[in-house]
Amino acid sequence: MQKIVISLDAMGGINAPTSVIEAAFNVAKLNPRVHFLIFGLEDKVVSILQALSFPEERYDFIATKDVIQDRDKPLHAFKNGKESSMRKAIDAVKDGLAHACLSCGNTGALMVTAKMVLGTLPGVKRPAIAGAFPTYENKLIMLDMGANNECSESVIFQFALMGRCLAKVVLQIGNPSIAILNVGEEETKGRELEQKSYELLKSSGLNFIGYIEGHDIVRGKADVVVTDGFSGNLVLKASEGAINMFMTLLKEISKSSGFITLVGAFLLKRALKKKLTRIDPNVNNGAMFIGLDGIVIKSHGSATTFGVTNAISLAYELANRDINAQIIKEIKNLEERGIGLNFVEKIKQTSAKILGIPT
Amino acid sequence: MQKIVISLDAMGGINAPTSVIEAAFNVAKLNPRVHFLIFGLEDKVVSILQALSFPEERYDFIATKDVIQDRDKPLHAFKNGKESSMRKAIDAVKDGLAHACLSCGNTGALMVTAKMVLGTLPGVKRPAIAGAFPTYENKLIMLDMGANNECSESVIFQFALMGRCLAKVVLQIGNPSIAILNVGEEETKGRELEQKSYELLKSSGLNFIGYIEGHDIVRGKADVVVTDGFSGNLVLKASEGAINMFMTLLKEISKSSGFITLVGAFLLKRALKKKLTRIDPNVNNGAMFIGLDGIVIKSHGSATTFGVTNAISLAYELANRDINAQIIKEIKNLEERGIGLNFVEKIKQTSAKILGIPT
């Protein structure tokens, strides 16, 4: 039985290291194939491992001296964080000791460090943060959720290709539909970025369904939604904010409705909560830094043990299915159909040839 | 008793003209000071007016020949829509026949036509769409919600000044707090636009509280949130999408829970719905095109009669309080404190003088 090894930065996130180690413990209990490399401060981590009676054969604990803080600037974290739990967890992937790594810590620091340490897949211009967006009907993958504040249309096109691969592997959809996030559905809507990206995707022959608006994302009207990292992050957080508000509201009512003890109220609440599960950010927790030459999963900084458990399960799935090999294979197939990572450049060359412009 | 006259484009929006005329009827019943100029197609509008027994002394109906469609391009609508209900409703404000106008129709067409017909207030670079954002704790005003896809920092600064005025008048807050929408709270976060706008607002002496993230908007952590129209529109629609999803979910449960007829379930649902009212898009319906030399209110295209009623009430309030006179007065006060509409240009001139650069 081949093991899948996941390296964990135990120190990032507001509930860490407890949430991270409890989550690893949960996954280890359910899945005999998983093994963990746990990186963190000895005085914080060891007592938790002992309290859980975490079976010693299921993990290696590697004491690290340093922790990347949420306020650390990404480049500073990369240059000065060589002894940090985050860096060591990424190094483990680079060194072939782990199949995937996970952190709940500083997103910018994790992205920059992972990019510098692991590099990108061949031909990829910019790695992106790709994750399941909370929707009511279906699962939906969005990228970029925050790695690149500003992007060109050729970068957006690459996001579409990589998102397509991820949807095929994770959502098990044969020919995922792709949409561009925009402020309207009409072709004339949006900025130059949306309009140029639209033209590219329209001419690609991929399953491109046009623009999607913010309120249609939650309805899962596309399998993959592409956008720049600034817009993706805004929309994700706004949706999560609204969802969390409802969760709080439900809790408030439960607390204040002491006099409502009838069975009906209980059943109603249960029905509501069951439906809410589908869009709970902790259920959808875990985003992939797609386009890197190694699997790196970012969990929400505020994720609970339950949330981190889901993110670790995602890391396991992506490692087990060898997502990056799938991406490379898929892109090779697309290249053969003339829709590769350098589709934009090829279009430009073709246009230049037709127009007689030297390339 | 001075009348407040509101001109209505009866033809825009998916529930129009019924929703618009029913809403006007509702407002007229409650408020003896309001009078309506109703513009629309005779064969669609008259039967509704008759069916409601709308008292004839409370409105004038002006039959128009044309309707702006949702798919019409803004400039096309302005050039070719001179006989449309939308254009006539705006013309009524220009001609001094109405104190404010309202439409549920094509946002781009309404904005462009209103801007061309009414012009902007002195010194205003770009009008913006400003409205109440659905929040749980407090009311919050956001601008721009979709008029300008891309903005400069000096435009964002003007949005902050106008939003401040609106919050003072509508929310009755003495010194409203202002925040910039961003993907993080740290000073280093965001694009060049956010960082430059931050510097301007920080040095202005206004009640500037820094950056706000999408999930903190619903908590009402600021009174005024400024952003470009692309980002504002995305965030608004994403939040509304999540909220509408919950509304649908509640309805579904009510329908599918036929066996739960106990009093407790009823009470729980009522408690939940009561809380939801605060964030219902129909309750918060109605956005002002701020910065125009005339009051123009845009209602949601999908607003119900109840939603349009709220938007008409907002139009009435803003007309009754003479919002534009308030804005001009407030900006004059700020000018005297050195923080006027041309704050940015003044800073540049001062820097140039210090550096000895000819201006």
What ipTM was estimated for this complex? 0.86
Averaged pLDDT for residues A52-56: 96
Three-state secondary structure call for residue A35: strand
Whether A355 shows a pLDDT value over 70: the answer reads no
What is the reported pLDDT for A315?
Answer: 96
Write the pLDDT tens digit of every residue in A78-95.
Answer: 999 999 999 999 999 999
Does B124 fall in a domain? no
Omega before residue B144 within 30° of 0, cis: yes
Same domain, B68 and B191: no
Whether A236 shows a pLDDT value over 70: the answer reads yes
Q: Where are the strands (E) in B111-226, listed by range?
A: 128-132, 141-143, 178-181, 208-212, 224-226
Length of chain B: 359
What is the reported pLDDT for B307?
Answer: 94
Whether A357 shows a pLDDT value over 80: the answer reads no
Same domain, A173 and A257: yes
Averaged pLDDT for residues A257-262: 50
Specify the number of domains making up chain B: 2
What is the reported pLDDT for A219?
Answer: 80
A190, A213, A262: residue with CB nearest B262: A262
Three-state secondary structure call for residue B173: coil
d(CA A89, nearest CA chain B) in Å: 25
Same domain, A49 and A148: no
**Domain of A103?**
1-119+292-321
Does A126 fall in a domain? no
A257, A271, A279: residue with CB nearest B257: A271
In this complex, do B242 and A218 lie within 8 Å of one another by their Cβ atoms?
A: yes
Does B27 fall in a domain? yes
Residue type, B16: A
Tell me the β-bridge partners of A37: A7, A60
Judge whether A47 is closer than 8 Å to chain B, CB to CB: no
Question: Please, which residues 203-232 of chain A have a Cβ atom closer than 8 Å to chain B?
Answer: 213-219, 229-231
- Residue A120 carries which DSSP code? B
In this complex, do B215 and A235 lie within 8 Å of one another by their Cβ atoms?
A: no
Does A250 fall in a domain? yes
Same domain, B83 and B37: yes
Same domain, B166 and B274: yes
Whether A17 shows a pLDDT value over 80: the answer reads yes
Judge whether B144 is closer than 8 Å to chain A, CB to CB: no
Higher pLDDT, A340 or A285: A285
What is the reported pLDDT for B261?
Answer: 43
User: Could you write out the DSSP letters of every residue in A119-172?
Assistant: -BPTT-S--EEEEEPP-SSS--EEE-SSS-SS--HHHHHHHHHHHHHHIIIII-
In this complex, do B262 and A265 lie within 8 Å of one another by their Cβ atoms?
A: yes
Question: What is the distance between the alpha carbons of residues B286 and B6, in angstroms, rounded to a whole number?
Answer: 14
In this complex, do A241 and B271 lie within 8 Å of one another by their Cβ atoms?
A: no
| Cβ count near A175 (within 10 Å) | 11
What integer best gives the mean pLDDT of chain A? 88
Averaged pLDDT for residues A332-359: 65
Per run of 10 residues, the mean pLDDT along chain B (length 359 residues) is 94 94 97 97 96 96 95 93 97 98 95 96 92 78 93 93 90 94 90 94 92 87 95 92 76 60 57 67 85 96 93 95 90 78 63 53
Q: How confident is the model at residue A359 (pLDDT cuts 50, 70, 90)?
A: very low
Same domain, A272 and A250: yes
Highest-confidence range of A49-63, A205-219, B201-215, by mean pLDDT? A49-63
Question: What is the distance between the alpha carbons of residues B254 and B265, in angstroms, rounded to a whole number?
Answer: 9
Does B7 fall in a domain? yes
d(CA A42, nearest CA chain B) in Å: 30
Averaged pLDDT for residues A24-51: 97
- The two tokens of residue A351 are 């246009």
Whether A262 shows a pLDDT value over 60: the answer reads no
Same domain, B114 and B136: no
Least reliable range by pLDDT among A35-39, A88-92, A187-191, A240-244 = A240-244
Kindly give the pairing relationship between strand B59-63 and strand B34-40. parallel
Same domain, B224 and B309: no
Q: Where are the strands (E) in chain A, listed by range?
A: 4-9, 34-40, 59-63, 100-103, 128-132, 141-143, 178-181, 208-212, 224-226, 287-290, 295-298
Task: Give the global pTM.
Answer: 0.88
What CATH number is attached to the domain comprising B9? 3.40.718.10
Does B260 fall in a domain? yes
Same domain, A225 and A273: yes
From the list A194, A215, A249, the residue with the least C-alpha distance to A135 is A215
Same domain, A328 and A310: no
Same domain, B344 and B234: yes
Same domain, A328 and A315: no
Judge whether B260 is closer than 8 Å to chain A, CB to CB: yes
Judge whether B14 is closer than 8 Å to chain A, CB to CB: no
Question: What is the distance between the alpha carbons of residues B190 and B187, in angstroms, rounded to a whole number?
Answer: 8
Least reliable range by pLDDT among A76-80, A212-216, A326-330, A350-354 = A350-354
Question: What is the distance between the alpha carbons of residues B165 and A208, in angstroms, rounded to a whole number?
Answer: 44
Do residues A158 and A291 make contact, with C-beta atoms less than 8 angstroms apart? yes
Does B91 fall in a domain? yes
Q: With b meaning 16 or more CB within 10 Å and e meaning fewer, what string describes B239-262?
A: bbbbbbbbeebbeebbeebeebeb
Do residues B218 and B188 make contact, with C-beta atoms less than 8 angstroms apart? no
Question: What is the distance between the alpha carbons of residues A328 and A330, in angstroms, rounded to a whole number?
Answer: 6
What is the reported pLDDT for B346?
Answer: 64
B215, B219, B253: residue with CB nearest A268: B253
Does B203 fall in a domain? yes
